[in-house]
Homo-oligomer: A and B are copies of this chain.
Amino acid sequence: MKVFHDIQTLRVFLDDIRREGKNIGFVPTMGYLHEGHLSLIEASVKENDITVLSIYINPTQFGPDEDLDHYPRDIENDKKLAVDAGANVIFIPDHHIMYKNNHVTYVQVNGLTHQLCGQSRPTHFQGVTTIVSKLFNIVQPNRAYFGQKDAQQAIVIKRMVMDLNMPITIVVCPIMREADGLAMSSRNTYLNPEERQQATVLYEALQKAKALIDSGERSSKTVKAMMTKLIHTKPSATIDYVSIVGADTLEDIEILEDNILVALAVKIGKTRLIDNLQMEVLAYVH
């Protein structure tokens, strides 16, 4: 496996790969890899000749009071996990390489970025789309892999790629979960044992929402009320949002129908966790 820290050397290496007619798969991450990331690498390895992993804790997607300084990192372990999963190249740029002092250019996806996570994190998605654009232009992959865990991120990036005609296929891979259902996240490491146990309420709320919808419930309000009530049974939980939106528009819906996204963000203690469930709902026939 090759490790690159600067853009120009990586470009030269990948230009050669492309000249050989090989396909490049790309998995952008902020490191502290878990099985969710590894499933993206494995998906890329299956579909491409070369898989590039990037590890970069992108400051522009963190708000002023968020956990940028404390975001967990373990580069040496990441390298081991990545090579075991089949990655061929790791790109670990320094901050001063990614953002020059006079950086002023941002990519914005309007209409899909102010709601859900965008409500409490107003500059988050602009940071994501900008760094992903930069990384795409550096790596120039054929395919790039993102997790369904960050559902809004995946939808925003797919829209960006379509709107800007980026010559890249976006592949979204399923959420990976712990045995008790908690969605894997680098931030799970922040949880103390008690919080860790209570954190399962996110998945539990989604499962109960699914059961309710499967049983015929079509009122968004009713489903969200049930989820909210359940989450409030956990003393360490504070709800950021519990939303049901159209999976294409990300706009709130009242009557559940077609392709919907049930999404939630809950603080467990000081740790903000997200989870979601995308499902196709048939119109209810009386």
Judge if A76 is at the interface, Cβ distance under 8 Å: no
Least Cβ–Cβ distance between A157 and chain B, in angstroms: 10
| Residues in A262-278 with C-beta less than 8 Å from chain B | none
Q: CA separation between A121 and B260, bound complex, in Å?
A: 40
For A162, the chain B residues whose CB sits under 8 A away are 100
Q: CA separation between A200 and B114, bound complex, in Å?
A: 48
**Complex interface bits, A82-107 against B, C-beta within 8 A gives 1, otherwise 0:** 00000000000000000010011111
Judge if A109 is at the interface, Cβ distance under 8 Å: yes
- Would you list 20 pairs from A and B whose C-beta atoms are within 8 A, ordered by A residue? A7-B165, A19-B21, A100-B162, A100-B163, A103-B163, A104-B163, A105-B107, A105-B110, A105-B129, A105-B159, A106-B107, A106-B108, A106-B110, A107-B107, A108-B108, A134-B163, A137-B167, A138-B165, A138-B167, A140-B167
Say whether B105 contacts A108, CB under 8 Å.
Answer: yes
Judge if A218 is at the interface, Cβ distance under 8 Å: no
Least Cβ–Cβ distance between A27 and chain B, in angstroms: 18
Q: CA separation between A21 and B21, bound complex, in Å?
A: 11
Q: CA separation between A257 and B268, bound complex, in Å?
A: 57
Judge if A179 is at the interface, Cβ distance under 8 Å: no
Judge if A164 is at the interface, Cβ distance under 8 Å: yes
Least Cβ–Cβ distance between A227 and chain B, in angstroms: 29
Q: CA separation between A127 and B104, bound complex, in Å?
A: 16
Q: CA separation between A54 and B7, bound complex, in Å?
A: 30
Say whether B163 contacts A105, CB under 8 Å.
Answer: yes
For A160, the chain B residues whose CB sits under 8 A away are 105
**Other contacts beyond A105-B109, A130-B164: 11, CB < 8 A:** A19-B21, A104-B112, A104-B159, A105-B129, A106-B108, A107-B164, A134-B165, A137-B164, A137-B165, A137-B167, A138-B165
Q: CA separation between A112 and B134, bound complex, in Å?
A: 19
Least Cβ–Cβ distance between A249 and chain B, in angstroms: 9
| Residues in A113-159 with C-beta less than 8 Å from chain B | 129-130, 133-134, 137-138, 140, 159
Say whether B164 contacts A105, CB under 8 Å.
Answer: yes
Question: For residue A11, which residue of chain B has the nearest CB?
Answer: B167
For A133, the chain B residues whose CB sits under 8 A away are 164
Question: For residue A108, which residue of chain B has the nearest CB?
Answer: B106
Judge if A111 is at the interface, Cβ distance under 8 Å: yes
Judge if A279 is at the interface, Cβ distance under 8 Å: no
Q: CA separation between A162 and B109, bound complex, in Å?
A: 20
Q: CA separation between A107 and B162, bound complex, in Å?
A: 14
Q: CA separation between A100 and B162, bound complex, in Å?
A: 9
Judge if A166 is at the interface, Cβ distance under 8 Å: yes
The 7 A-B residue pairs with the shortest CB-CB distance in the complex, in nearest-first order: A105-B163, A137-B165, A104-B110, A104-B111, A134-B165, A105-B109, A105-B160
